[in-house]
Structure 1
Amino acid sequence: MNDLSVRAVRAAVNVLVDTDPTAETPGSRTSLHITADEPCFEGHYPGFPILPGVCVIESVHRSALATHPERATVEHRLAAIETARFLQPVYPDDVITVDMSWQRRDGAWRCRAVVGNPRGESARVRLRYEPAESTP
């Protein structure tokens, strides 16, 4: 039987820029050092390891939770991955940056993120967050 457990990225989220949450379009930037010993590299293209797309999304999600405009007052949950487009791979020992902009619409927050690596853009991701108390 195969082990199908999900291994989340262990890299620490470093907040580099966090704008005023009351700004018209709040934004933030984080960085994560994706070390070669991340468990998610194991078996993901042996001999040519790349960070799985789901781990890129997890890095954006963790960055979004660390910088959410209402993080100090309201707990939010990930309600949807609205889009994810992968442009370039993330390799072991890359430092990725996550540039986020936030927009409040229809009672939810939308986070647009651009993930960068040392060679350029890795991904574009859009996530939607809703207040945790609205969980069905």
Structure 2
Amino acid sequence: MLTTKEIMEIIPHRHPFLLVDTVTECEPGQRAVGYKCVTYDEPYFAGHFPGEPVMPGVLQIEACAQVGAVAILSLEKNKGKTAYFGAVNNARFKRKVVPGDKLKMECEIIKSKGPVGIGKVTASVDGETALTAELTFMIG
């Protein structure tokens, strides 16, 4: 298991934009599973939405991308590099993510050639799918 501190040694994100608390599984270059404990004091809840806090879908995608970045940047050849978005495809949101949820994020690298690849991501809460998407990344 990777702690927040160990995750920060792999990816460049920092608070308040580090959206992964732990990574419980990581096969470098292949797949990773991580978690985000969604708390009421997340800064975006002040405006999204007052009286009905919902984690923005774009931040769910970003959180999944960070889990994928842990997988791809754990490869020795990619250490110290950054994974950038190339595209987001087929994103589907299936349920709201709200304070108190423990968001499980899974990323499987399904294609990789040179500095470009595609990750298939799924986010869920208590086994219920919240998000599915395909993310294209570029290593820089």
The normalised TM-score by structure 2 is 0.75
Equivalent pairs counted in the alignment come to 122
1:29 aligned partner, one-letter code? V
> Could you tell me how far apart the structure 2 residues matched to 1:32 and 1:60 are?
10
Q: Which residue of 2 aligns with 1:59?
A: 63
Structure 1: runs of 5 or more not aligned: 1-6
1:31-110 correspondence to structure 2 within 5 Å: 31-68=35-72, 71-74=75-78, 75=81, 76-107=83-114, 108-110=116-118
Q: Which has the larger radius of gyration?
A: 1
> 1:118 deviation in Å?
2.5
Report whether the alignment pairs 1:14 with 2:33: no
TM-score by length of 1: 0.77
Percent identity for Structure 1 against Structure 2? 20
> Any gaps of 5 or more consecutive residues in structure 2?
1-14
Report how far residue 17 of structure 1 moved: 0.8
Q: Contact 2:89 / 2:135 at 8 angstroms: preserved in 1?
A: yes
Q: Provide Cα deviations, 1:17-52, integer angstroms capped at 9, x if missing partner.
A: 11253xxxx222111111110011112122111101
Q: Deviations over 1:50-95 (max 9, x none)?
A: 1011111111122111221664322332211123111101001211
SS in 2 for 1:79: strand
Distance in 1 (CA, whole Å) between partners of 2:136 and 2:27 is 19
Moved more, 67-76 or 116-125: 67-76
Structure 1 pair 9–89 and aligned structure 2 pair: CA distance change class (3 A):
farther
RMSD: 2.2
